[in-house]
Structure 1
């Protein structure tokens, strides 16, 4: 399955960021032009790239405690506009939310 949009929001102290981002970026789970949105503690240092996923944008929220980082799949070096900036709708079954409480 190739996902178009992934929203990833694990507990901040879980340690899940790096293994899940590597899995999504290196296993080809996100379609070319698809985007992973990673919600995280604003002081957490995420990598500039995870496999095919390349850092595009950071958005800080609230009292600068949380942030969202956008990672579009730019495999093959294609110049694409990330899905999140297009306001596009995701096809059915191409969207996943990874969140735990």
Structure 2
């Protein structure tokens, strides 16, 4: 009689011999966060159409390629900017109604 069970069920054939079944276990892990993420320069001017800044990532653990996006669907300021590759660009938002620093 087979003493080990797979999935809680005994695995034996009609002749009471064990049935061997191969399977693959794949480990999926979330990679650790990079060491740092920066935006330079970190300021822009109302009416600016050029890139606000360039995103850079320091990550010694993984591939040097990173994909940037804004977190949270509909976040408070997501509609004010766009990300193209590693460039943060002003979005279609009209900043002219705001004071500097607002």
Higher helix share: 1
TM over 0.5: no
- In the superposition, the TM-score normalised over structure 1's length comes to 0.22
Q: TM-score, normalised by structure 2?
A: 0.22
Structure showing greater relative contact order (alpha-carbon pairs closer than 8 Å, 6 or more residues apart)? 1
- Largest Rg, 1 or 2: 2
